[in-house]
Amino acid sequence: MKYLVTSMKGGVGKSSISVNLSAHTGSQYITNDITPPAIEDFIQIPLNKKKIPADLAQLENAVFDLGALSTLLDTKIAHAARFCDVIIIPTRTDSRSIAATLKTYELLQDAGKPIVIIINHFRDQKKHEAARDQLLSAVGRTPIYSIRETTLFDRISRDGIAWLLNIQNTKGLYMLQKTVQKHNAVYDRITAIGERGK
């Protein structure tokens, strides 16, 4: 399964979701970010490349964490959208993030691939519901999932993927274990959508 995680706005949690998703699915993490997350195993695509290199596009299991420019899609994103099985657009609840999400959705809709939106790292339930309502009115039946604010992403940055994969064996981290289970449930639903779209 190949996943594309992208947004036209920075700071919405693309890399955090991509790293978690790649760990959960056992996929290769690939990014075009000039400052990739502090994880052990990743592939960085140089910014000067116009397309995803053929060897990476042909990987069986990969998560592409590709940032966009603020006004147009990076050509690598348009290329990845053609061969990835599902497109994931993370967003926050603020109006700028929602606007960027809708613009990203509009630009990627023509790829003909399933698109999923994740309202990410939210704390305020009322703001979450307002953002969800706004998105639903604009994108109709597109699946929208939610991931609450958590320290999980910070811990992964600090302690790495090996820590995440072993969290179920770690005493004293009950709440983070529950968080991982909730995240994994979202990633499993996204994977199922991608499988159906094949």
Domain ranges across the chain: 2-197
| pLDDT, position 60 | 96
Contact 27, 62 (CB under 8 A): yes
pLDDT value, residue 159 = 76
Q: 20 vs 17, 41, 96, 154, 188, CA distance in Å?
A: 5, 13, 25, 12, 12
Residues belonging to the chain = 198
User: How far from chain centre, in Å, is Cα 138?
Assistant: 20
- Range with the lowest mean pLDDT among 16-20, 36-40, 48-52, 167-171? 36-40
- For 2-197, which CATH superfamily applies? P-loop containing nucleotide triphosphate hydrolases (3.40.50.300)
Q: Per-residue pLDDT for 19 more than 70? A: yes
Cα atoms found within 13 Å of the Cα of residue 31, Cβ hemisphere only: 20
Task: Tell me the C-alpha distance between 23 and 11, whole Å.
Answer: 21
Q: Where do runs of H (alpha helix) occur along 49-173?
A: 54-57, 75-83, 95-108, 125-139, 152-165
pLDDT band at residue 95, thresholds of 50, 70 and 90? very high
**pLDDT of res. 63:** 97
Range of weakest confidence among 100-109, 166-175, 177-186, 189-198: 166-175
Instruction: Tell me the average pLDDT across 40-46.
Output: 84
Evaluate whether 12 touches 120 at the Cβ level (below 8 Å).
yes
pLDDT mean over 87-91: 97
H/E element, 2? strand 2-7
Contact assessment for residue 91 and residue 132, using Cβ atoms and an 8 Å cutoff: no
Give start and end residues of each alpha helix (H) in the chain: 14-25, 54-57, 75-83, 95-108, 125-139, 152-165, 174-197
Helix (H, G, I), strand (E, B) or coil at 86: strand
Assigned token pair, 163: 């820590």
Neighbouring-strand partners of residue 147? 120
Section 180-188 average pLDDT: 91
| Confidence tier at 62 by pLDDT (50, 70, 90) | very high
